[in-house]
């Protein structure tokens, strides 16, 4: 019974996801869905992208949060078009929310849309937003066991960002186990970017990866 209800919700979501995909396709916009735990550094990665790409690409941002507009305010400081979706306690974005948010963005004059999902490694994974690809964000202090414990996200991501690598010396993080769980078991061949938004390490690779995705087009992300 519960399963049937979930399927219905997901079916409605899929219709809106298709509509989002069509609008993005018409406008020629690549959209990435950033999924990660609370505090993994999703907003900081978006800020780094805006700084690194502002001379080369036109970026827009959708910020999803259960409460507050703090992240959207951080982004607005960087002069990018940003829409805040406040889910009023909801645990994930869905395609209907994103479809409505698109109406408030100047799609025709964008190249890349970064969508920050609600901080959560489980629920957002079930909801296709009509995005071109998924960015799994995980940070070093969360521990090396996250891919094994939350496999669906890591299986369906087109890139994995391991953030806060500057904290590696101060925590017990088994990078061999992390890489083995991720690249051998869950998602062979997925690009892994090691980044510290705090020190700037690896930010260049993140920015370059984004630029290449836009240059090659969304079809380069299909698996």
> Interacting stretch for its own copies, rule CB under 8 A, among 14-22, 25-33, 134-142, 214-222?
134-142
Q: Among residue numbers 38 through 97, which ones bind its own copies (CB under 8 A)?
A: 38-40, 65-68, 70, 89-91
Residues 6+ apart with CB under 8 A from 181: 144, 145, 147, 148
3 near its own copies (CB under 8 A): no
5 near its own copies (CB under 8 A): yes
142 near its own copies (CB under 8 A): yes
Provide the 10 A C-beta neighbour count for residue 63: 28
- Nearer to its own copies by Cβ, of 122 and 201: the residue is 122
| Eight-class DSSP state of 24 | H
- Nearer to its own copies by Cβ, of 139 and 187: the residue is 139
DSSP 60-91: EEEEEESS-SHHHHHHHTTT--EEEEE-TT-S
Q: Mark residue 23 as left, alpha or beta (left: phi above 0; alpha: psi -120 to 50; beta: remaining).
A: alpha
Contact positions vs its own copies (CB under 8 A): 2, 5, 9, 37-40, 65-68, 70, 89-91, 118-123, 139, 141-143, 145-146, 148-152, 164, 166-167, 170-172, 198
């Amino acid at each position: 019974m519960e399963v049937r209800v979930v399927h219905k919700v997901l079916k409605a979501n899929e219709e809106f996801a298709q509509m989002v995909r069509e609008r993005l396709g018409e406008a020629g916009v690549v959209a990435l869905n950033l999924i990660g735990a609370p505090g993994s550094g999703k907003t900081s990665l978006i800020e780094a992208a805006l700084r690194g790409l502002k001379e080369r690409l036109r970026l827009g941002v959708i910020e999803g949060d259960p409460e507050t507009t703090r992240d959207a305010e951080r982004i607005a400081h960087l002069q990018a078009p940003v829409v805040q979706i406040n889910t009023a306690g909801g645990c994930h974005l869905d395609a209907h929310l994103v479809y409505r948010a698109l109406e408030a963005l100047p799609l025709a004059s964008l190249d890349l849309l970064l969508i920050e999902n609600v901080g959560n490694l489980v629920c957002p994974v079930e909801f296709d937003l009509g995005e071109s690809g998924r960015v799994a964000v995980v940070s070093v202090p969360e521990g090396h066991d996250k891919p094994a414990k939350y496999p669906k996200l890591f299986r369906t991501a087109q890139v994995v960002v391991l953030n806060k690598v500057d904290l590696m010396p101060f925590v017990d993080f088994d990078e061999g186990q992390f890489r083995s769980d991720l690249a051998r078991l869950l998602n062979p061949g997925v690009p892994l970017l090691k980044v510290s938004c705090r020190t700037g390490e690896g930010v260049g690779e993140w920015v370059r990866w984004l630029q290449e995705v836009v240059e090659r087009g969304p079809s380069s992300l299909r698996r």
